Structure 1
């Protein structure tokens, strides 16, 4: 978030830091297309914090200023805001099919 840096590691945390820095100040978050989506206005410091918090995952700040944390993969991740039309629909259908598969009762073969 656009706020002061966290105190150095050897100093105690301050109330200002806890209330103004990610992740403790993120009041709304969602899971969108497999990415964690934190609403707010973030900066480059938050990308570094997110990638340390979620090792192996890739973080980005999207055009709205929100923070997204994506699964590991090659290259830079693409914002969930960039998924449009057919590509978004394909992601939704894939996620729905995966969820149905995981939640469906196991059938016995006869």
Structure 2
């Protein structure tokens, strides 16, 4: 099982509110990023499996970024921790979507 840092952020004020899942698969590269609708946060917290769609990779600063982003709304971190998967990091970087849930405080992919 592979484990790496991740952050789930609520992005508001720039288009429809949505969730951004930032995955740091190697500590060096841009963050692998997936998104879904904001209303899925409650489902994710309750242990439901949620599907995220691939977005453009983001700069590493987004892993810890909270607050206003000039002309792009604001971010609020909802979850900060680890993501676990049976897949290798290079496989994760090629995904176009993923299914995730939070189990025992860990994001499971």
TM-score by length of 2: 0.26
Higher strand residue share: 2
Question: Looking at both structures, which has the greater relative contact order when contacts are Cα pairs under 8 Å and sequence separation is at least 6?
Answer: 2
Higher helix residue share: 1
Larger Rg computed on CA atoms: 1
